[in-house]
Structure 1
Amino acid sequence: MQVALVTVGDELLAGDTVNTNASWIAEQLTSRGVAVERVTTVPDRVDDIAGVVREYRDAYDAVLVTGGVGPTHDDVTLDGVAAAVGVDLAASDEALVYLTDHGGYAADDLTEGTTHLPAGARVIHNEVGVAPGCVIDAVYVFPGVPAEMRAMFESVADEFAGDEPHTAVVETPEPESRLLDRLAEVRERHDVAVGSYPGENVRVKFTGTDEAAVADAADWFRERVEPLESTPTAED
C-alpha cells in the first residue's frame, strides 16, 4: 500500500508551527507496512489543496490530509478536498447528530465548518474536539490539532496495512564518505532498503519484509566495517 501525506497550513510554511503531524503519521503508517511516498505541505488556499490532493489521489492508494479543518476563516481544507474529488460541501446530518447528542453542543452554536463535509463522505467523528474528519475516494481528512488528529487516525488505522517491516541497524565510526563502496555493494547483493545516517557515528539501517534477508544484509555489512569501540568497564 502506497500513500501520500498532505499537511495544510500557512503557519507550517512560515515555520511558526513545527510539522509534528507529518512525522507522527508517517511513523504510524510505516510501522504498519505502508509505504509513505510523498509528504507535501501546502498553504491555506483552496486551489493549492485541490491540485495536490487531485494529483496524489490518482497516483497512490490513499491520501491523508491534516490541518485546516474547523470553523475559522482559514479552514479551507474541506473545500479543497471537495474540489479535488468533484463534489460540493453539504450538510452532514450524521456529524450534526454526533456533535449535539455526544458532544453536547447546541445546534445553533455550530457553524458550517463543523457540520458540512464533501457530499457523500464518510464521517470520522472527533472524540476530543469539535470539527469532524471524513473519508471520500480514499482521501482521509483530519484536523491539524495533534491530539484530535491522533485520536481520529487510531479510529481508522486498521484500514492501512501492508507486509510487516523488519529492520536492523549497524553503527560504525567510519565516515560516510568512506563507506560508499560497501553501501553500494550491499545494495547489489541484498534485496533490502538501505539508509545511511551520519552523526557522531554513522547509522546504517536495513529494512525489508523478509526478516532473514534483512539480517543477512546487516551481517554482511557489519563484517566489513570498522566496529564501534566498546565502552571500558571498571574491571578493564
Structure 2
Amino acid sequence: MEVALLTIGDELLAGDVENTNATWLARQLSARGVAVRRIAVVPDVVAVIADHVRAYGDAFDAVVCTGGLGGTPDDLTMESVAAAFDRPLVVNEAAREDVERTLAAIAAEYPDLDVNVERHASLPEGARPLLNPDGLSPGCVLENVYVFPGIPREMRAMFGLVAEEFAGDLRSRLLRTPLPESEVTPTLEAAREELPEVILGSYPSRGDDPNRVKITGETEAALDRAEAWLRERIEVEDGR
C-alpha cells in the first residue's frame, strides 16, 4: 500500500506551526507496513489543494489530508476535496448531529460560542463522515482520500477510527554500527546491485547513538539476507 500525506495550512509554510502531524502519521503508517511515498505542505488555496488531491489520488492507494477543517475563512480543505472530485458540499446529517451534541456538551463552559453548525457539518457529497472523538469538526473519507483535522490530538484520535484500513507488506530492521558514515557508504553503494529486493538507508548518529543502517523490504527472508550480507562487510553492534 502506497500513501501520500498532504498537510494543509499557511501556518505550516510560514513556520509558525511545526508539522508534527506528518511525522506522526508517517511513523504510524510505516509501522503498519505502508509505504509513505510523498509528504507535501500546501497553502490554504482551494485550487492548489484540489490539484494535489487529484494528482495524489490517481498516483497512490490513499491520500491522507490534515488541516483546514473548521469555521474560519482559511478552513478550505472540505471545499477543496469536493472540488477535486467535482462534487458539491452538502450537510451530512450524522455530522450535524455530532456537532450539535458536542456544542451542547460544552455550552456551559463556552456560553457565548457562536458556531455555524452547517458549515462544520458540510462534507463533499457522498463522503463517509468521520465524527470527531476529541473536537468539533468532522473529517471524512471520499474514495481513497482521508480528511483529518489539523489539531494533533484530534487528528490522532480520528486516525484511530480508520487505522485498520491502512496495511501493507513493508517491514524494516535497524542495524547499528560504530563506523563513520563515510566508511559505510561504499558498502551501501555495492548493496544496490547485490540486494535489489530491499531499500537501505543510512542515518547518521545522534548524540551518543551510533550510526544506523535501515533495511526495508517486503519479506523477512529479504531482510535476513540483507542483514547477513551487511554483517559480513561492516561492523555491527550486538542488539541491532
> TM-score by structure 1 length?
0.89
Pick the aligned partner of 1:194 from 195, 200, 205: 200
What CA distance in whole angstroms lies between the structure 2 residues aligned with 1:127 and 1:228? Answer: 44
Report the counterpart of residue 175 of structure 2 in structure 1.
170
Q: CA deviation at 1:212?
A: 2.7
Pick the aligned partner of 2:158 from 152, 160, 181: 152
Q: Secondary structure at the match of 2:53?
A: helix
Q: CA deviation at 1:227?
A: 4.8
Report the counterpart of residue 144 of structure 2 in structure 1.
138
Q: Which segments of 5 or more consecutive residues in structure 2 lack a partner in the other structure? A: 108-113
Q: Structure 2: which amino acid aligns with 1:69?
A: L
Q: Secondary structure at the match of 1:205?
A: strand
Q: Secondary structure at the match of 1:167?
A: strand
Q: CA deviation at 1:99?
A: 2.4
**Aligned 1:11-160 pairs, distance under 5 A:** 11-101=11-101, 104=104, 109-160=115-166
Q: Secondary structure at the match of 1:36?
A: strand
**Is 1:82–1:118's contact at 8 Å kept on the other side of the alignment?**
yes
Report the counterpart of residue 234 of structure 1 in structure 2.
none
**Is 2:3–2:35's contact at 8 Å kept on the other side of the alignment?**
yes
Q: Secondary structure at the match of 1:56?
A: helix
Q: Which segments of 5 or more consecutive residues in structure 1 lack a partner in the other structure? A: 230-236
Which shifted more, 110-119 or 42-51? 110-119
**Matched length:** 227
**Is 1:29–1:160's contact at 8 Å kept on the other side of the alignment?**
yes
**Is 1:71–1:112's contact at 8 Å kept on the other side of the alignment?**
no
Which shifted more, 205-214 or 38-47? 205-214
What is the CA RMSD across the aligned residues, in angstroms? 2.0
Q: CA deviation at 1:91?
A: 1.2
Q: Structure 1: which amino acid aligns with 2:91?
A: A
Superimposed CA distance per residue, residues 156-202 of structure 1 (whole angstroms, 9 cap, x where no aligned partner): 11111112x43222222333223232112223222211111112542
**Is 2:175–2:237's contact at 8 Å kept on the other side of the alignment?**
no
**Is 2:99–2:117's contact at 8 Å kept on the other side of the alignment?**
no
Q: CA deviation at 1:39?
A: 0.5
What CA distance in whole angstroms lies between the structure 2 residues aligned with 1:179 and 1:15? Answer: 34
Superimposed CA distance per residue, residues 15-34 of structure 1 (whole angstroms, 9 cap, x where no aligned partner): 11110101111111111111
Q: Sort the Cα spacing of 1:37 and 1:227 in 2 relative to 1 into closer, same or farther, 3 A.
A: closer
Q: Structure 1: which amino acid aligns with 2:177?
A: T
Does 1:185 find its partner at 2:185? no
Q: Sort the Cα spacing of 1:223 and 1:158 in 2 relative to 1 into closer, same or farther, 3 A.
A: same
Q: Secondary structure at the match of 2:58?
A: helix
Report the counterpart of residue 213 of structure 2 in structure 1.
204
Q: Secondary structure at the match of 1:204?
A: strand
**Is 1:44–1:74's contact at 8 Å kept on the other side of the alignment?**
yes
